Amino acid sequence: MKIRTRSLPPGWYPDTASETELAIKRMISSFAQKYDNAIAGIVPHAGWEFSGRIALSVLTALASDIKTVVVVGGHLHKSDGILSAFEEGYETPFGIIESDYDLLEYLKENLSVKEDRYADNTVEIQIPFIKYLFPKVKFLGCRAAPSKDAVSLGRVIADASEKMDKKIAVIGSTDLTHYGPNYGFMPRGTGDEAVKWVLDVNDKGFIDYLLNFKAEEAIEHANRNKSACSAGGAAAALSYALAKGSTQSVLLEHYTSNTVYPSGSFVGYAGIIYLY
């Protein structure tokens, strides 16, 4: 069996099963679990210290009877299309999580899917959460460009769910505005006003499109305003939710990395779920 091994160092998430379980339990104890019927969601992908709690709050809201979780990340250009890991399993601190190869084959038959040969945090950072919360599910890691390809990916996964009679959850993995000198983007200068603009204007514009089920508009906003680094992932999750009949979206939390570590360079994070 060909396994996709861990690429991120322990600073991103813990190394051992015991340390990872302890970190997850601590995060779960810090938020109230109000939902248990989400079919899709959007999560950030920074290290667990920064945004793990938001990601976990989304993942714990997923329906308990799901059979496969698909995480769609990004960090791609508009012309990069759709990528997926072709390995048969993924390494986690809790052991191997098996790839949903049947779903992968369906995607390859109905879309242009290239092999993702590169290590990337947008997908990997979520896998230990999923293995812990849903020990028996299968998994598929994809990445989608910020283009209409992402919308198509969500729709095809929804089609696969129906034709394969399989309950699938799709998670879009994206951070929001990257602001400050480290990112070469600071149209509102520095200080509290810059943070307020990121939260209340730039991030919010992108989030509002996601909450209102407008996938293509969300992509356009991100490409135009630098309001998300992996808008394709978010759009794929939204497109899937819409195709499956979701009509309710919930913003669970939204803040910036300044909340954890104050700095002139910071990143926005949000957690969104889509319910049946």
Please report the pLDDT score of residue 276 as a whole number: 83
Please report the pLDDT score of residue 3 as a whole number: 95
CB burial of 59-80 (b: ≥16 within 10 Å; e: otherwise) equals bbbbeeebbbbbbbbbbbeeeb
Nearest in space to 170 (alpha carbons), one of 225, 238, 111: 238
Please report the pLDDT score of residue 208 as a whole number: 99
Domain boundaries, given as residue ranges, for the chain: 35-275
**Structure-derived torsion over alpha carbons of residues 171, 198, 255, 93, reported in degrees to the nearest 10:** 50
35-275, CATH topology level = Protocatechuate 4,5-dioxygenase; Chain B (3.40.830)
Give, for all 276 residues of the chain, the pLDDT tens digit: 899 999 999 899 999 999 999 999 999 999 888 899 999 999 999 999 999 999 999 999 999 999 999 999 999 999 999 999 999 999 999 999 999 999 999 999 999 999 999 989 999 999 999 999 999 999 999 999 999 999 999 999 999 999 999 999 999 999 999 999 999 999 999 999 999 999 999 999 999 999 999 999 999 999 999 999 999 999 999 999 999 999 999 999 999 999 999 999 999 999 999 998
Backbone torsions φ then ψ of 45, nearest 5 degrees: -140, 30
Tell me the two tokens of residue 38. Answer: 């989400």
C-alpha to C-alpha distance for 28 and 59, rounded to whole angstroms: 11
CB within 8 Å of 184: residues ≥ 6 apart: none
Please report the pLDDT score of residue 5 as a whole number: 93
Please report the pLDDT score of residue 34 as a whole number: 87
**pTM value?**
0.96
